[in-house]
Amino acid sequence: MSTFLWVIFPYICLAVFVVGHWWRYRYDKFGWTTRSSQLYESRMLRWGSPLFHFGLLGVVGGHVIGLVIPQSWTEAVGMSETLYHWVAVIGGMISGLMVLAGLVILIYRRRTVGPVFSATTPMDKTMYFFLALVIVLGMWNTIASSIFGLGGSEGHAFNYRESVSLWFRQIFYGQPDPGLMANAPLGFQLHALVAFFLFALWPFTRLVHVFSAPLGYVTRPYIVYRSKDEREGTAVGTRAPKRGWERVQ
């Protein structure tokens, strides 16, 4: 079971994540969208969306530092474990509360605004559930471990950078050690499992918009609207039009 949970299951989820995005883009390109509901309601969205998205940037940044960057690297630039601990706690709590508050507003909006609720799909509800669960588990780990010292030795905070972070990086090396996660506190185990399951759901939800960027807007020609021509008394000029500005007959 340990091998399945901490070796096989993560690779299954990552495979679904990669292949699922390829399939979604290949066969459902028009469905690759946020399915925005701003036209239905904007007052609550104006508060919930920025809180959620800007908070999420802080959460992702914290996970990159905590999971991807080895502890020896931060120590090499003069950041002690104590300093890292407090930066992670304060920054993580602020970002986590922003994400949680934004998510609560967005879910409340989606449930109480009729047209938005009607546009909500079963996959949206599943996505919101697991997204909320992974956020709550992450905040619980920060509070329980870093503030109350649960899961650590002799009352000290559990140092996930010596176990969970190593296991996470080993996944991409192709040699994950299941023992590193098997000995981690239950909260960290649940957080990792739910997060990987969310990765597996990702390609089939509106979360695909994370990988969208309007790069084509930089090079595409302007859209020009004209309602009259020379016969109706509006001169169109004699200069040769530039590429993309040709008249539509």
Tell me if 156 is assigned to a ligand binding site: no
85 is in an annotated binding site: no
Q: Is 191 annotated as a binding residue?
A: yes
CA nearest neighbour of 106 among 17, 179, 37: 37
Question: Which token pair is 36?
Answer: 């925005």
Query: Cβ contacts of residue 14 below 8 Å, gap of 6+?
Result: 171, 196, 199
The answer to whether 53 is annotated as binding is: yes
**How long, in residues, is the chain?**
249
Is 98 within 8 Å of 62 (Cβ atoms)?
no
Report the interhelical angle of 81-112 vs 43-63 (nearest 10°): 150
* Cα–Cα dist 142/86, whole Å: 11
Structure tokens at 64: 């990159």
DSSP assignment, residue 159? -
User: Nearest 5 degrees, angle CA 34-CA 37-CA 41?
Assistant: 150
What own/partner pairs with CB < 8 Å and gap ≥ 24 does 223-228 have? none
Tokens of 35: 């399915």
- Block residue for tokens 């495979």: 15
Known binding-site residue numbers: 53, 63, 191, 209
Binding residues for heme b: 53, 63, 191, 209
